[in-house]
Structure 1
Amino acid sequence: MSVDTHLREYPAVKRAYGSVAAFDDAPQWIYELDNPYLHGACAPTLNEMEVENLEITGQLPADLQGAYFRNGPNPVHQPKNRFHPFDGDGMVHGVYFRDGKVSYRNRYIQTAALKQEQAEDRSVSPGVMGPFDYSVSPFGIKDTANTDILWYAGDLMALWYNAGHPYRLDSQTLATQGHFQLDGRAQLRLSAHSKTDWQTGELLFFDYGDEPPYMTYGVASPDGRLLHEVAIDLPGPRLPHDIGFTSNYTVLHDLPFFHDMEVLRKHKYRVLTFHKDIPTRFGIIPRFGSGDQIRWFECEPCYILHVSNCWEDGDWIVMDGCRSTNPMPGAQAADGELASMLAYMRLEANAYRWRFNLRTGEVREGDIDDLNTEFNKSNPIFQGVKSQYSYHQRIPLLHEGGHTLRFTALVKYNNENGSRQQWDYGPGVFGSEAVFAPKPGADRNSAEDDGYVVTLVTDSNNWQSDCLVFDASDIEQGPIARVRLPQRVSHGFHATWASGEDLFNHRADAES
């Protein structure tokens, strides 16, 4: 396929990438659609594979034991309607580090919706952007489980952007084992960013919907049993994306960015609106508290995708995260029917800190830095207690060429003073969410940044993908090891780290 021949036919792709790349490992139907989230760094790959003994350059740390897992959209069939990245079938990539060797495998998440579409060999879901005709799809909007991935109860849990049905994946093979059902809970649905507390092994979860109760919050035991769940009183349907937690409390979000229910009921499509006149609210509830124990704190109107960490400081609860005052940036008429999706995915946000006083009700908030960054992670050992560092992805703004969501640099923040280190991936190189990999035996007495940061990159100059390993204490020196992956990895969403002790020793104990 000639790239130049098709430039005029793909104005949205041209604005994003400058050209239309042709891939042997991508479905041919993508070339019929002018959607930048189906081309370039986002072009899906069809291959599932397992490859051992990958090529390593640099010095791979001998004590790096565990695996990096990353979830993301990888559509199998040509979409029935306009494509949104949340519609792409979930695919998980795993890079395993063990005894100085590295292996790779990837698998589709075999969701109920994907199985139906594979049986019919076509897309049947209306997609996130609609129009919604549920008569042809019992699943309505397709729950793709393509957003988050976390280690819980001895396996991997894959979750979807909108509160969906989580799936259990075998951590060794990535094979789908069905829904991840919490014992004692009738409802399957969980939000994408439910959290595992590394200290207790507990799952802190929430879900939400269009009907009362608009949110529930709960806790599950390390072995997958429901311990606690309560309804959270909200004024109407909301679209919270994340939560934070401390040793004793959980921080829930009520954000002024939600869809109009009357439009949804009458016209069968969703219109998201940022209500600048409605304050953002954070609800602080004891970990095992009742609904009437929640305390709400009002803050400046904003939207939040991801929390870095929370902790208790005397009477105060501190929350670090990334804050957006414009969750629909850069809408352009030239983008046509894709305008709202492209605007939402561009993502303007910066590192920010909120402080809530449980005794007086006082709120303090302010910027940590003004650089446009997101997809923020921190050392999971320090989740829930005071921490200093977080690791973000640099995201170009629209005027910097950020027509689509893309990660161009790894940024390490010192959230106490706002200083940062940055390592650029390079021209035309796109990154993935980076995770912190603690050294074996590390605990809260260890230095917080004594470990490694791991991520994936894809180079659009040759479409080669690599896994990069950084010394977390000095990311500006660049990766200390680079692992060549056996295939191109398209852009994705979230990632997690599973320690070797959990991943390898747990499986050995289970099989013995």
Structure 2
Amino acid sequence: MGHIAKLMMEFPTVDKCVDGVTQFSDAPAWIYELDNPYLHGPYAPTVHELSKEGLEVEGTLPQDLRGAYFRNGPNPMLPPKNRYHPFDGDGMVHGVYFDHGQVAYRNRWVQTEALLDERKSGKSVSPGVMGPFDYSVSPFGIKDTSNTDILYYRKELVSLWYNAGNPYALDTQSLDTLGDFAVPERQHRRMSAHSKLDWNTGELMFFDYGDEPPYMTYGVADASGKLVHETAVDLPGARLPHDMGFTENYAILHDLPFFHNMDVLRQHHLRVLTFHKDIPTRFGIAPRYANGDAVRWFECEPCYILHTSNCWEDGDWVIMDGCRSTNPMPNASNDEGELSHMLAYMRLEANNYRWRFNLKTGEVREGSLDDLNTEFNKTNPLFHGVYSRYAYHQRIPLLHEGGHTLRFTGLVKYDNESGRRWEWSYGPGVFGSEAVYAPKIGATRASGEDDGYVITLVTDSKDWSSWCLVFDAQNIEVGPLARVRMPQRVPSGFHATWVRGEDLFADR
């Protein structure tokens, strides 16, 4: 059975099918020549960039909801040169704007240097994440697609790539690419996805990493965009950290035992990722503006971490909540051919977890908060860096539950103090997106941590309609307060952010 056939078994489609493959009028025709599940069904790219006002709303939009939900993700414009990996898809940002009861939608490709060059040539040039790599294209032949993360900083949206790429600035209203994003005093632009914005101070904390020393750098820019701190961080070798954390006074950096073999990369131009079960996971904690030699490392059980939820201080302790994976590279299936390792890697296995680090004694305490397979975890950004108890995750089916590809089937709210969870299923054949917490107009920490809204995008495979769902954060299990119909099908993507109305509509 082919990859597309397996994918099609996962949802009840009533859309037009040809030879068992769903056909879309708004997708590029070349995808139907490739048996890759991440180019079909909910992952099929769209060819349209739209701007639409006055969207249809089912239910009642809250009067104290104002701002915008932005989500980034892969949307390849041209046929891949080699095997396609979702990390290769050109970044496309979708925006849903809420303003005084009216809702608008826009989507735009991120006009990266690589995409502009490929559009001129009319073909893909990069060999892609799965190679084979070509040093004549870039150091390792990987196309920087800027398709992973999205954040708001200095009155602009900033799109980021998972592999410490070059960020791009986007206009918050039109989503047009404004050009390169850079902190002027830095020596280079590179910045990893999941750099962090502190809503309390307006500071941007960022990190990057690479295959040559220094293997990591960490820095801070103030609310105006001025670089106030940057330092090299000593690591044993090239690593692939994906996220970081921060408290009011500290930054928490990650050194994870899941990385590629540099000798194989240099000799054969291949990135071979290995989870080293005999190497501890390390977390480095240092004062926010400290030099790299001040980082204090804490050893924990071997694992990989994609996303933290929140971090805070409690006396001598620093606490970090996030999602932990002890199997970041599941065994590849023998019947999945040349895509087997990519498919295995994308089958995300993780659970809600807590780490505690004592800055006085060096003691580490860690343990699971829940065993449900969830990830793409978000919290109230007003509480980032200080104590919080609630987190909003995406439910991810495991392979034996039908999870042939990475997909989100429901919203999960955790109370990380009591251990309680609440769930709302998106429904059969409905695929979700990362959800964000949207504070009410004028909300502060005193307003309450979960006295706001949770917002996500979903696509229903029964008719391929896409919707933006608005939940009461305190009652997600009763379903959305409002459903906003999108003017087009929205493909599955990666990360999202919320921008407050007072920042987005300052002139209204």
Fold-level similarity (TM above 0.5): yes
Three-state SS of the structure 2 residue aligned to 1:270 is coil
Residues 1:15 and 2:15 are matched in the alignment? no
**RMSD in angstroms over aligned alpha carbons?**
1.0
Q: What is the rounded CA distance, in whole Å, between the counterparts of 1:402 and 1:213 in structure 2?
A: 38
Q: What is the rounded CA distance, in whole Å, between the counterparts of 1:262 and 1:331 in structure 2?
A: 23
Against the structure 1 CA distance between its residues 177 and 139, is the aligned structure 2 distance closer, same or farther, given a 3 Å change threshold?
A: farther
The alpha carbon displacement at 1:330 in A equals 4.6
Please tell me the residue identity of whatever aligns with 1:408. T
Three-state SS of the structure 2 residue aligned to 1:134 is coil
Aligned partner of 1:392 in structure 2 is 393
What does 1:220-239 correspond to in 2, within 5 Å? 220-239=221-240
Q: TM-score, normalised by structure 2?
A: 0.97
Q: What is the rounded CA distance, in whole Å, between the counterparts of 2:140 and 2:441 in structure 1?
A: 43
Aligned partner of 2:63 in structure 1 is 62
The alpha carbon displacement at 1:139 in A equals 8.6
Three-state SS of the structure 2 residue aligned to 1:224 is coil
Q: What is the rounded CA distance, in whole Å, between the counterparts of 1:167 and 1:284 in structure 2?
A: 29
Please tell me the residue identity of whatever aligns with 1:420. R
The alpha carbon displacement at 1:137 in A equals 6.0
Q: What is the rounded CA distance, in whole Å, between the counterparts of 2:318 and 2:137 in structure 1?
A: 48
Contact 1:16 1:402 (8 Å CA) reproduced = no
Aligned partner of 2:13 in structure 1 is none
Against the structure 1 CA distance between its residues 241 and 114, is the aligned structure 2 distance closer, same or farther, given a 3 Å change threshold?
A: same
CA displacement, residues 175-225 of structure 1 (integer Å, 9 cap, x when unaligned): 001111102112100001100000000000000000000000000011211
Contact 2:134 2:140 (8 Å CA) reproduced = no
Q: What is the rounded CA distance, in whole Å, between the counterparts of 1:293 and 1:401 in structure 2?
A: 46
Higher deviation after alignment, 440-449 or 80-89: 440-449
Contact 2:285 2:297 (8 Å CA) reproduced = yes
What does 1:94-493 correspond to in 2, within 5 Å? 94-136=95-137, 140-493=141-494
Q: What is the rounded CA distance, in whole Å, between the counterparts of 1:261 and 1:237 in structure 2?
A: 8
Q: TM-score, normalised by structure 1?
A: 0.96
Contact 2:391 2:413 (8 Å CA) reproduced = yes
The alpha carbon displacement at 1:269 in A equals 1.1
Three-state SS of the structure 1 residue aligned to 2:354 is strand
Aligned partner of 1:77 in structure 2 is 78
Contact 1:408 1:430 (8 Å CA) reproduced = yes
Contact 1:35 1:83 (8 Å CA) reproduced = yes
Structure 1: tracts of 5 or more residues without a match: 1-7
CA displacement, residues 233-278 of structure 1 (integer Å, 9 cap, x when unaligned): 0000000000000000010000000000000001001000000000
Three-state SS of the structure 1 residue aligned to 2:337 is helix
Contact 1:86 1:128 (8 Å CA) reproduced = yes
Contact 1:368 1:417 (8 Å CA) reproduced = no
Please tell me the residue identity of whatever aligns with 1:108. W
Higher deviation after alignment, 432-441 or 329-338: 329-338
Higher deviation after alignment, 218-227 or 273-282: 218-227
Aligned partner of 2:12 in structure 1 is none
Counting aligned pairs with the same residue, the percent is 71
Aligned partner of 2:15 in structure 1 is none
Structure 2: tracts of 5 or more residues without a match: 10-19
Q: What is the rounded CA distance, in whole Å, between the counterparts of 1:138 and 1:113 in structure 2?
A: 14
The alpha carbon displacement at 1:134 in A equals 2.9
The alpha carbon displacement at 1:333 in A equals 1.1
Deviating beyond 6 angstroms after TM superposition, the runs of 4 or more aligned structure 1 residues are: none
The alpha carbon displacement at 1:135 in A equals 2.3
Please tell me the residue identity of whatever aligns with 1:498. V
Q: What is the rounded CA distance, in whole Å, between the counterparts of 1:347 and 1:139 in structure 2?
A: 25
The alpha carbon displacement at 1:292 in A equals 1.4
